[in-house]
Amino acid sequence: MHILEEEIQKVIVYRTSAEHLRSLGYRKFTWQMVDENIVYLSESAVYRVLRAHRLLGRVYKAHDGALKEYERKPLYVHHHWHTDIAYVIIRGVHYYLIFMLDGYSRYLLSWELMTDMSKLSVELFTQRTLDCYLGVKPMVIHDNGSQFVSHDFKKILFVNNCIDIPTRLKHPETNGKAERFVGLIRDEALRPNSPTYFTEAERVIRDYVYEYNNNRYHAGIKYLKPVDVFNGREKAILDERKQKLQNARLERIRINTRRNQILLGDLPA
């Protein structure tokens, strides 16, 4: 079944319409076009179009060297929470970004840019996050930093019926989802924007978190957006995508059949 010329042109126009779309991996690009009703093609069809027109760009693949993450994959929202602390240096001053990430949806549940990384600060952040999601009982996956292995931190998890999951010793990559988020926010937010003071850094992070949660397609969740998976819209969106592709295939067959009949003289032009 031949792709229609008008479909090819829509792919090319959309690909070249904005700078950030030109380097987007073809899989994310495919589903973004489907979701935005630009054109309805499979990943392989989009790949062929982009390759033929030298618009393939960079395919995003995670090569973070991780040996393995926590062995059991999350089965639902709030099953696994991942937390970590990242250093943020602004004009020689050290700040500390702490966050809590839902492992199933990749949705960033909460974050805070702190002036210290004391045990008390981490404990208060954790309790505030739990207070925002009353009734959940996640497995909290973290590294073996002193803040996360303290008695008071473990007590907070116990009182809130959470399960404490420390990563393997000397293998922080087993908390891979948190590690990858740290890499993303450094590469896509902090380094490009280079904030020069604390409140500017907060704004940069806040803007990025909104973009990450609400607009960024994630390979680990079937090229969906974290907000959609977090809010239970995963099946509806995947079903809609499937229906769009099916409808487009049928329409493509109809158009190609008619054009062939015109060429053969069976139908008037």
Tell me the whole-structure pTM to 2 decimals.
0.79
In tens digits, the chain (269 residues) has pLDDT values of 578 888 988 998 999 888 778 778 888 899 999 999 999 998 888 888 888 888 886 543 333 333 345 567 899 999 999 999 999 999 999 999 999 999 999 999 999 999 999 999 999 999 999 999 999 999 999 998 899 989 999 999 999 999 999 887 656 667 889 999 999 999 999 999 999 999 999 999 999 999 999 999 999 899 999 999 999 999 999 999 999 999 999 999 999 988 888 888 777 76
Predicted confidence at residue 267, as pLDDT, reads: 78
CATH superfamily to which 80-221 belongs:
Ribonuclease H-like superfamily/Ribonuclease H (3.30.420.10)
What is the per-residue pLDDT for 177? 92
pLDDT computed for residue 52 by the predictor: 83
Residue 173's pLDDT is what? 63
The tokens 């380097």 sit on which residue? 23
Q: Which two tokens stand for residue 187?
A: 């590469």
Break the chain into its structural domains and give their ranges. 5-61+233-263, 80-221
Q: Which letter, b or e, does each residue of 69-90 get, where b requires 16 or more Cβ atoms within 10 Å of its Cβ?
A: bbeeebeebbbbbbbbbbebeb
The CA distance from 176 to 173, in Å, is 5
Among 256, 218, 264, residue whose Cα is nearest residue 237: 218
The CA dihedral of 88, 174, 99, 233, to the nearest 10 degrees, is 130
Written in H, E and C, the secondary structure of the chain is CCCCHHHHHHHHHHHCCCHHHHCCCHHHHHHHHHHCCCCCCCHHHHHHHHHHCCCCCCCCCCCCCCCCCCCCCCCCCCCEEEEEEEEEEECCEEEEEEEEEECCCCCEEEEEEECCCCHHHHHHHHHHHHHHCCCCCCEEEECCCCCCCCHHHHHHHHHCCCEEEECCCCCHHHHHHHHHHHHHHHHHHHHHHCCCCHHHHHHHHHHHHHHHHHCCCEHHHCCECHHHHHCCCHHHHHHHHHHHHHHHHHHHHHHHHHHHHHHCCCCCC
Largest CA distance in the chain: 83
Residue holding tokens 């010793």? 169
